[in-house]
Structure 1
Amino acid sequence: MPVPQKKFMGYTTTFTGNFELDRPLYDFQVLYLLEFARTRRVKRNEAMLTTIPDSLRDAVSLPLGNEGCYFINESHPEADASIIDDNRPPKGQPGLYCQWQPIFNGRGIEWNGHEKFYKYIEWLQYIIVNFIAQWDYELNGTVTWQGETASDIGKIIVVKNQIIEPYGAEAKLKTITSPVTVPGNIWQGLYAVHLHDSHVLASWIAALHSCNELGHPETAKWIEDNLIGLYGAGINRGFQNQETGEAFIPNCYPMGAS
């Protein structure tokens, strides 16, 4: 049953039901996935993590992963020093928290009851690909969701490790974990602003002024035209030059905040 939620800033979706596994997870797999769901997923320095014990990850035979994506021992005294960016997830992960976790007997996957679960389709796709399928399990079942608005209702259907409803889960995960592609001239303007002051792009008003001052009025117009959507997504995921493939990730903290 869904856990009752109070309304806070942000948006909360509740989920009913669970997905079933073809056989129970081992205890150490359950413990790892519980910790994975509990911990904030942040970019880390892999080299610094090599000296930090991470017994549950070792038990499931996972590497540290790109930017420490599989690391879970965040309570270790040296773990904080490994953080590169505590407001962005490691490469390949769709958000800062995964709120899918094993059910109590290890026979399925369910929502952990916490508020503000964003990118839940992408996160489900991620754990199927990186954990469930890798450990040779099969996931099936249907979970329904209800958002804060009455019309925001639906269901997630998984058949043999494939999310068949809603359609396009694999593409959603790829999109949300990839840089925003922009025309070459727009990218040049964004990158010029980034090089001038890496904090400026976090403030769209400051970014507009900087674009114009640096001689990139077309980039300023692009920011205004794409403020809701591509620009905000690029601040989180980075911008990629569609002509050259070059990419960068802005500093997401406003001036004076980091």
Structure 2
Amino acid sequence: MGYQTEFVGAFAVMPPLTADEVAFLRRFAETRHGDGLPSRWCHWEATGEGNVIRWNGGPQFYEPEKWIAYLISHFLLPGHVVNGAVDARGEEAGDVWRLVVTDNVVTVRANGWEYGPITEATPDRTPGIYQNPECWPDDQVSPLDENRSAG
């Protein structure tokens, strides 16, 4: 069994995607991917109205920050602007972070730090670097992690 992370929030897309673009992204999210892409599954999908991209609830969503960067650079540019934030919480204590897209630029915020810009070519992150509270000084607390306090 793989590691599970839950995602809450969404990314706004302007102008909204067409019906064909929405359908394409849904099929893309249902397709297993091979080498050269961030991971096997992309669990970001567009809503029916085409104005939002959100997590589709799929299991074991690895490299979600690279996937949203990939979708923006390969399918949404030029022509669409993506903005929004998604909070992520993994199975382990302290595994909380925020994925932020501002005018198509992807960053990750965790424990008071910001990483980015993120692209699909960003080197793989060290396992647990965003999530593991032991990786951070005591005074660097994620605003997303209500279970951890400073000092």
Matched, 1:16 2:8: yes
Structure showing the higher strand proportion among its residues: 2
Aligned with residue 103 of structure 1, among 41, 47, 50: 47
**C-alpha root-mean-square deviation of aligned residues, in Å?**
1.8
Cα deviation, 1:21-75, whole Å, max 9, x if unaligned, reads 1221100000001000101113xxxxxxxxxxxxxxxxxxxxxxxxxxxxxxxxx
Which consecutive residues of structure 1, in runs of 5 or more, have no partner in the other structure? 1-8, 43-88, 177-228, 230-258
* Structure with more helix by fraction: 1
Deviation >6 Å, runs of 4+: none
% same residue = 33
Q: Does the 8 Å contact 1:122/1:169 carry over to 2?
A: no
Post-superposition offset of 1:172: 6.2
TM-score by length of 1: 0.44
- Does structure 2 retain, via aligned residues, the 8 Å contact 1:19–1:141? yes
- Give CA-to-partner distance per residue, 1:195-241, whole Å, 9 cap, x none: xxxxxxxxxxxxxxxxxxxxxxxxxxxxxxxxxx9xxxxxxxxxxxx
Question: Does residue 168 of structure 1 match 2:111?
Answer: no
SS of aligned partner of 2:42: coil
Aligned pair partner of 1:159 in 79, 96, 102: 102
Q: Deviations over 1:143-164 (max 9, x none)?
A: 1011001200111111100013
The DSSP-based 3-state class of the residue aligned with 2:118 is: helix
Q: How many residues align?
A: 120
SS in 1 for 2:123: helix
Cα displacement string for residues 128-155 of structure 1 (whole angstroms, at most 9, x for unaligned residues): 1111123x10000111011001200111
Q: TM-score, length-normalised on structure 2?
A: 0.73
In 1, the alpha carbon distance for the partners of 2:80 and 2:32 equals 25
In structure 2, stretches of 5+ residues that fail to align are: 110-114, 128-151
